[in-house]
Amino acid sequence: MNEENTPFTPPENPNPPYPPFPPGNDRYRQDAPFWPNRAPRRSSFWRRVGKFFAWTGTFFLAALGAILLLGMIGILFSLKGLSTDEESKNKPVEKILAGSEISPKKIVVLPIEGMITENEFGFVRNCIQAAYDDDRLSGLILRVNSPGGTIAGSDYYYTLLSDLKKERKVPVYVSMGGVAASGGYYVSTVADKIFAERSTITGSIGVISMMMDASALCDKLGVRTNNIVSGKNKGMGDFTRPMSDEERAIWQGLIDEAYDQFLSVVREGRPAFAPKTEGESDADSADPLREIADGRVYSAAEAKRLGLIDEIGFLKDAAEAMIRDELKTADDDVEIVRYKKQENVLSVLGAETDGKAAVRRAASLVETLSTPNLYYMVPGTLPSFD
Catalytic residues: 182, 234
Torsion of CA 109, 153, 116, 139, to 10 degrees: -10
What is the rounded distance in angstroms from the CA atom of residue 205 to the CA atom of residue 289?
A: 9
Which amino acid is located at 175 in the chain? S
Find the distance separating the first CA and the last CA of the chain, reported in whole Å. Answer: 87
Q: Is 186 helix (H, G, I), strand (E, B) or coil?
A: helix
Give the orientation angle of helix 151-168 with respect to helix 245-269, to 10 degrees: 20
Q: For residue 282, give the 3-state DSSP assignment.
A: coil
Helix (H, G, I), strand (E, B) or coil at 370: helix
Half-sphere exposure of 151 (CA within 13 A, CB side): 19
Residue of 284, 147, 144, 272 lying closest to 203 (CA atoms): 147
**∠ CA 275-278-283, rounded to 5°:** 65
The C-alpha atoms of residue 315 and residue 348 are separated, in whole angstroms, by 28
CA dist list (Å): 344 to 87, 112, 198, 354: 11, 21, 35, 13
As beta bridge partners, residue 340 has: 93
Helix, strand, or coil (residue 321): helix
Instruction: Give bridge partners of residue 126 from the DSSP assignment.
Output: none
The DSSP code for 22 is: P
Q: Give Rg (Cα) of the chain.
A: 38
Which H/E stretch holds residue 125?
A: helix 123-133
